[in-house]
Structure 1
Amino acid sequence: MTTVLRRIVGFSHVLNGVMVRIAAVCLVLVMLTLMANIVMRVAGSPLNGTFEVVAMLAAVVFGLSLGDAQNHGAHVSIDLLVRRWSRRTRIVVGSLVTIAAIALFVQVITSLVVYGQVMQTQGSATESLGIPYWPAVYVVVVGFAGLVVALVADLAKGALSWSSEEPHLSVF
């Protein structure tokens, strides 16, 4: 059982590591697009559709970085009360909150898939360049799926830390 839990944690880190690298490339593309627009604007001919391209890439950056942020504990956590509880109480409460978060994000994924299907069916696209919206929506779905995998990995770490006091397992 311990091996399976450790593999879940490892899979989460590999999957979300790949996604955050793709997000980093997209962030560089945002920067390059904005710089090119500035240069072209100074030359008197700004790039058409810069806002649309940057908005699409920003959605990709946001979506694909969620799971990695969860893996590294980069989200805000206020633990003034919780840190005074026993380790096992924190694990139980943290696991319950994580299960609730998983349920919430699975619902978000479901809603985004439906939204993406509607966008695809309607042929919704950006105004200037005609870039379809639905691929960006599906990339955000993949990002939220990575977040769910990271949350499952947190549950695995909680289970592993129940009988071990290894500091790298203390997620709650």
Structure 2
Amino acid sequence: MPTVSRTVLIVGGGIAGLTTAHGLAESAASGDSPIQCTLVEAAPRLGGKILTEQVGGFVIEGGPDSFLSQKPWGMELCRRLGLADRVIGTNQDRRKTYVYAKKRLEPLPEGLALGVPTRLGPFLRSGLLSWKGKLRLGAELVIPRRRERGDESLGAFFRRRLGNEALE
């Protein structure tokens, strides 16, 4: 029986598109079946929102600067791409994240897990949100479910559930 060649068009050269192209190339190389893969990207460079630059000896991240290394597939992809030796782990002595807000760097409060406060004290003492913003964020617990059907953007969802200040 003849092997059927597959043709795939990947739209977008961000992390999802590049990972898809790499996975298809691995699949084709393993002999599963021939794959003709074309990736198209509107921007002048690949990578999407991910951008890393070296400026004056510092690493500057313009976009996502990390991934959860507890999730095995992220590190596995790094190994398959030959990048595992370039992964920089968190320095536990300097494990602090800052957000530029109100024209200054504001530390994220301790106990923040993927942006969700898990410890009330550090969150309340944080200067990241005003008291009004903190109260609005806390009101999320009593906000009823959206009644309208249909799609809702992430921005609209977070604004509705958490308030403008938390969204920004």
* TM norm. shorter chain > 0.5: no
Greater RCO structure (CA 8 Å; 6+ sep): 1
**Which has more strand, going by share of residues?**
2
Larger Rg: 2
Q: TM-score, normalised by structure 2?
A: 0.20
